[in-house]
Each structure stands twice: as structure tokens, then as C-alpha cells.
Amino acid sequence: MLLRKFFRKHLPEPEVVLAKPWAAPFRPWLAHPNLWHLNRRSVPGAMAIGLFCGLIPGPVQMLGALLMAIPLRKNVPLAMVVTIYTNPLTIVPIYIVAYAYGKLILGYRGPDDAITPFEWDWTLHTFWQWVMSLGKPLGVGLVALAVTLAVLGYFATQMLWRYYVVSAWRRRAAKRQRKSPIA
């Protein structure tokens, strides 16, 4: 699999990570082979974990992915790398989508509908009112978007994995058919 080769090339070897001094207290938990292998069970789960944890506010997304991947026995490096889809360039559009998703789910029409950032008198009080009006729709939207992305990522990865396996079987069968003499 092309992605499998890519990830094997760029993801660290478990021995290298476990040899680090900071990893010493965590070695008993990080020793399970599924945490490091790319297979049909650990990769879709790692994608789901990474997509879900990518929407954790603040700089703890990778830690969240690590803490979820270990007990669920999913690929740790992949789960941590997938969280990078939220970065300084993408976080604002993602949060706007999450806010809209939350408003849609809640059927919310709050004070933010009456005042937009472009109509402010730019006082701290006005800014604070606007931020507080975002709370419930944004919170619900972030959780709902995280769950939606995780489910979609899980099933999309499973389908891509299955597609690759089936196409590889067909290529091998066609190759064997070409090599076998016609009787």
C-alpha cells in the first residue's frame, strides 16, 4: 500500500521511541505491537482518534491522541500525526464550521445573530458579549464535528484499505493468469 510505505518510511520505529529516557516510565504501556504496526485494525482506529482529538482546544491534541490510542490499542504515531490537521492556518475555518454545525444542531439564534464583529464599536465589553454568545453552539459544534470526522475518517480508511487489498488480489490473480500456460 502506497500510504503504508509512506508511513513506514516517516514514522519512528518503536525501538527508537522506547529507547528514549523520557519513555522509560511508559514502556509497559507502549510495548503492545498494535500501537506501532500499520494494519487493518489499528490504522482506521488511529485515524478516528486523530481526527477526534484534533478538535480538542489548546495545545494538547497530541497528548489526547496518545492517551486514547494506548488503551484502545491503535497506532500511536499515526493518531498523533493526524491531529496536525488543526494548525494555525486551519483552526479558524474549522471553528467557524464547528460553530455553524452547533447552531444547526441546536437550532440556535442567539445574540450573535444581532451583532457581528463588523458592527462592533470595538470595546472590550462588546467583544466579551460576542465571545460569550459563541459558547454553547461552539461547544456542541466542536464535539459533534469531532465525532462526525472520527466516524467518517474511520469508515473512509476502512474502505480505502479494503479497496487496496481487493485491487492487490486482482493484480496478483491477473499476473498469475498471464504467467500460467494456456492448457
pLDDT of amino acid 156 = 96
The residues, any chain, with a CB within 8 Å of residue 100's CB and separated by 6 or more, are 141
pLDDT of amino acid 119 = 59
Q: What is the helix, strand, coil percentage profile of the chain, to 5?
A: 75, 0, 25
**pTM given for the model:** 0.75
Single-letter amino acid, residue 113: D
SS3 62: helix
Nearest residue to 36 (alpha-carbon basis) of 54, 11, 55: 11
Q: Dihedrals φ, ψ of 151, to 5°?
A: -65, -45
pLDDT digits (tens, 9 = 90+) for 68-118: 999 999 998 899 999 999 998 998 899 889 999 999 998 876 555 545 555
Instruction: Tell me the domain boundaries of the chain.
Output: 2-179
pLDDT of amino acid 33 = 74
Looking at residue 13, the DSSP 8-state letter turns out to be P
pLDDT digits (tens, 9 = 90+) for 170-180: 999 888 888 87
What is the rounded average pLDDT for all residues in the chain? 82
